[in-house]
Structure 1
Amino acid sequence: MSATLRITCSRSNLQKVRDFVREHLVEEKLSAVTVNQVVLAVDEVVANFIIHANGEDESQFLDLELGVSPHRLDVEIVDQGETIFLPPSHQAPDLREYVRQGRKGGMGMTLVHRLMDDVSFFARDNHTVCHLSKRLP
């Protein structure tokens, strides 16, 4: 199964993204836990693209492609903007230090890395791509 969605870079489209992912994964009869994990991970990456890479510029687009095979789920999110947005290599933050400092935010990609089996960002044709994958039982 493969499904695609194009959205503009507006936070108002995050619900549409969550609904799209949930609908297609439920159709595949994946467990509720897996569905919720993937919805949360995709939502976080899409929100980062919308807010940090595109400054909520509604003239910019993101394309999502969701693919499910018998033992693997793949999600590709392509930022159609002209700016390459490659986050630095992921390093798990020191949670004690976060708590000590009273920090809010900045934990989203740590969560994505914990929920998915593989998370990669790369450039393709002058666009930023995030590929997420998860092994399925």
Structure 2
Amino acid sequence: MKYSYKVPCKKEKLRDIRSFVKEILDKHGLSEIDSSTLVLAIDEVCANLIIHSHQCNAKDSIEIVINVDQEVGIIFDIIDKAEIFDISNYEEPQLEDIIKKQRKGGLGLILVKRIMDNIQIIQDPTKNICRMTKKIQVA
């Protein structure tokens, strides 16, 4: 099954994105822990895009496409047109360095990389797709 949701790049829309993702995952019988973990990962990527790539410009939009496949698991595509940040090549900082420097932030992408089984960045002339896959049993 395939589901799609498009929103303007406003921080206020992050709640709607979380609700959309949770509703789809619940529909396919994921446990509360699995569902919450995946919602966290999608929320982090969408927040980074909305805040950093689009500077909360409501004229821009992002689209979340969720493809639920009993063989593959769940594929999340986050589609936009901003300058790309390739999370798949993101080098994790050492946790000790984050603590020492008392950095605010810096943990979100670490969590995303640990939660998802595979992350790909796909670019074409009209859009960017951050494709994240989670191999998980779905109903």
Please give the TM-score of this superposition, normalised by the length of structure 1: 0.92
Matches within 5 A, 1:4-19: 4-19=4-19
- CA drift at 1:126: 3.2
* % identical aligned pairs: 28
Tell me which residue corresponds to 1:78: 79
- Where 2:57 maps in the other structure, the secondary structure is coil
Tell me which residue corresponds to 1:96: 96
- Give, as a single letter, the amino acid of the residue that structure 1 aligns with 2:121: F
CA distance in 1, matches of 2:119, 2:7: 21
- Give, as a single letter, the amino acid of the residue that structure 2 aligns with 1:75: F
CA distance in 2, matches of 1:41, 1:49: 13
Structure 1: give runs of 5+ residues left out of the alignment. Answer: none
Matches within 5 A, 1:11-30: 11-30=11-30
- CA drift at 1:123: 1.2
The ranges of structure 1 where at least 4 consecutive aligned residues each deviate by more than 6 angstroms after the TM superposition are: none
Tell me which residue corresponds to 1:45: 45
Q: Tell me, yes or no, if the aligned pair for 1:86 and 1:128 is still in contact at 8 Å.
A: no
The two structures, once aligned, show a CA RMSD in angstroms of 1.3
Q: Tell me, yes or no, if the aligned pair for 2:7 and 2:13 is still in contact at 8 Å.
A: yes
**CA shift digits 1:84-130 (9 cap, x unpaired):** 32236222211111111111102211110011111222312332211
- Where 1:14 maps in the other structure, the secondary structure is helix
Structure 2: give runs of 5+ residues left out of the alignment. Answer: none
Q: Tell me, yes or no, if the aligned pair for 1:92 and 1:110 is still in contact at 8 Å.
A: yes
> Is 1:134 the counterpart of 2:137 in the alignment?
no
Please give the TM-score of this superposition, normalised by the length of structure 2: 0.91
**CA shift digits 1:24-44 (9 cap, x unpaired):** 110101111111111000000
CA distance in 1, matches of 2:124, 2:43: 22
